[in-house]
Structure 1
Amino acid sequence: MYNDYYQLKENPFNATADPDFFFSSKTHSEAVANLIYGIEQRKGILVVTGEIGTGKTTLCRKIFKLSTKRIKFALILNPKCSELQLLQMIVHDLGIETKSKNKYSLVQALNEFLIAESSQGNNIVVVIDEAQHLSVKQLEQVRLLSNLETEKEKLLQIILVGQPELYDKLQLPALRQLRQRVAVHFHVQPLEKEDVRHYIHHRITKAVMDPHESRKVEFTENAIDRIYHYTKGSPRTINILCDRALLAGFVADTYSIDDEIIQNCAKEILYCEHH
């Protein structure tokens, strides 16, 4: 609605996990470096945790774009299923065709696929998002898949992405063997106060039709302070609040988003969240 008014080619604060809008804060840059290291060094199991809305899914999609053609990905978005169904989803997402759908046949087909890909110098990565929903049996299945290896390297890299409850679940005695196989664990932190200003500027700059346009929307320093106060640095909440603020600015016919606009929008959003 407000894109034409602000001379934007797209919504800068869309809630989707768009890697083109990835912001390299300190915590997100470190997460990328850790994941790329774990993948390239074929470390096996990698874990990424973070609170809701800290940008974990966007982070994974950024990894997909940064990686070379030698690295092939499978992305599992909804792991609320049985361990057999999880295995079927992984095999299907990797494009492996099997006549039989039982566990033995699927693992056999996956192993043959991984050996063939490895012989061509390819690296296979399975990313499981919302992994805090995985059951103990499913996580044990993940551990067994991580055992697929040659004498020299892991054939399959598995990235478990989830909320902090995932870390808590991995501490269970029944998952001791899996926990010992986690080579990289990175916890994504919310944005720091100074990052919020750069984050907002980064997203608007990405979305404007002409970066040199003098009528570009601006958030005042007091507005930035308010945004950090209300969002605690959560990228998703920042997006929701800034999107509402741009709409309010459009209605008020202003290119300057001040703290009053932010405060009013925050009240609306908080009201919606509590009712």
Structure 2
Amino acid sequence: MPLVYLEYYGLKEPPFDLTPNPRFLYFSARHREALNHLLYGIRERKGFVQLTGEVGAGKTTICRAFLEKLGPQYATALILNPVLDSDHLMKAIAMEFGLDTKGRDRLETLAAINHFLLEQVEHGRDAVLIIDEAQDLTDELLEQVRLLSNLETDERKLLQIVLMGQPELRDRLNAPHLRQLRQRITVRYHLRPLSRLEVGHYIQHRLQVSGANGAPYFTAGALWRIHRYSKGIPRLINAVCDKCLLAGFVKQRDSIDFSLAGLAIRELEGKVDV
């Protein structure tokens, strides 16, 4: 059915797909600040950088844009699911850096990571470890991550670390027993939801990227209702706008108004069939 509304509205691709895609990233002032904080922390070798935000606020999409901005002079490892024990976390990090971990225990894996990081320095490259959903790390794993930051030469740290997660990450790191880690995090940014005005810009941006030319059109009433429902969270905006376009196709309307947005929201909540 979504393919049918693409044809109806003359769109080249789904504008509100939930899969993170840097090409669709709308740089609100908040998103731009978040990206700039990440880039500053890494390029200035601040050691630890922390990025938090609500579920669906756009952290993962910003992360992908961040990786593209870093370029080939950085060796990067991205851990998307940190719910592991300490041995498997070390192996996962090593594998993300392209290292062979077969037959190695944790100490041997750590030694291999250290050797790899020293090689990067010799070749004039920096290494960055990014851990998404970091609020799910146990205290033991957070301590392992802190110890990784101890890898260094006389002149510099060998590894820059980015911790990304939900607001609970801030609460976790404020615990007294994690103060050694908290004190090492010198760059922090909390990604806040989009404003009502930004929601309109966000929707228009995604429509333009997907090839929209005049239609579909979201009225001011529809934008107000979408902002009220989504509270400015991009993932929820995408979900309700996808339903709006489906409803618009079913009703054969080029304009998405207040009532159609409400119909889409009720369908999304499972309260009506579009």
Aligned to 2:86: 83
Local SS of the residue matching 1:104: helix
Q: Deviation above 3 Å: which 4+ runs of structure 1?
A: none
Local SS of the residue matching 1:10: coil
Deviations 1:110-165 (A, max 9, x none): 11100111111111111111111100000000000011112222211111111111
**1:169 and 2:180 aligned:** no
**Contact 1:217-1:257 within 8 A present in 2 as well:** yes
Aligned to 1:122: 125
Paired with 1:153 and 1:257, the residues of 2 have a C-alpha distance of 55
The one-letter amino acid of 1:64's match is L
Query: How many matched pairs?
Result: 268
C-alpha change, 1:100 and 1:173, in structure 2 (3 Å) is farther
Q: Which moved more, 1:154-163 or 1:137-146?
A: 154-163
Paired with 1:40 and 1:100, the residues of 2 have a C-alpha distance of 35
**1:51 and 2:50 aligned:** no
- After superposition, residues 154-165 of structure 1 pair within 5 angstroms as 154-165=157-168
Deviations 1:32-83 (A, max 9, x none): 0000011111111111111111011111011011222101221111111101
State percent identity of aligned pairs.
Answer: 46
Aligned to 1:244: 243
Paired with 1:18 and 1:99, the residues of 2 have a C-alpha distance of 33
Cα drift, residue 96 of structure 1: 1.2
Paired with 1:255 and 1:65, the residues of 2 have a C-alpha distance of 36
Cα drift, residue 99 of structure 1: 4.9
Local SS of the residue matching 2:9: coil
- After superposition, residues 64-103 of structure 1 pair within 5 angstroms as 64-103=67-106
- After superposition, residues 124-273 of structure 1 pair within 5 angstroms as 124-208=127-211, 213-214=213-214, 216-271=215-270
**Contact 2:134-2:163 within 8 A present in 1 as well:** yes
Given candidates 12, 16, 19, the residue that maps to 1:9 is 12
Paired with 2:100 and 2:162, the residues of 1 have a C-alpha distance of 23
Paired with 1:239 and 1:52, the residues of 2 have a C-alpha distance of 13
The one-letter amino acid of 2:74's match is I
The one-letter amino acid of 2:46's match is K
- Gap regions ≥5 residues in structure 1: none
**Contact 1:217-1:255 within 8 A present in 2 as well:** yes
Cα drift, residue 98 of structure 1: 4.0
**1:20 and 2:23 aligned:** yes
**Contact 1:42-1:155 within 8 A present in 2 as well:** no
**1:41 and 2:44 aligned:** yes
Paired with 1:153 and 1:7, the residues of 2 have a C-alpha distance of 53
The one-letter amino acid of 2:225's match is R
Cα drift, residue 254 of structure 1: 1.1
Local SS of the residue matching 1:5: helix
**Contact 1:79-1:86 within 8 A present in 2 as well:** yes
Paired with 1:128 and 1:98, the residues of 2 have a C-alpha distance of 19
Cα drift, residue 93 of structure 1: 0.8
Paired with 1:175 and 1:100, the residues of 2 have a C-alpha distance of 32
TM-score, normalised relative to structure 1: 0.94
**Contact 1:100-1:106 within 8 A present in 2 as well:** no
Paired with 2:187 and 2:244, the residues of 1 have a C-alpha distance of 38
Local SS of the residue matching 1:3: helix
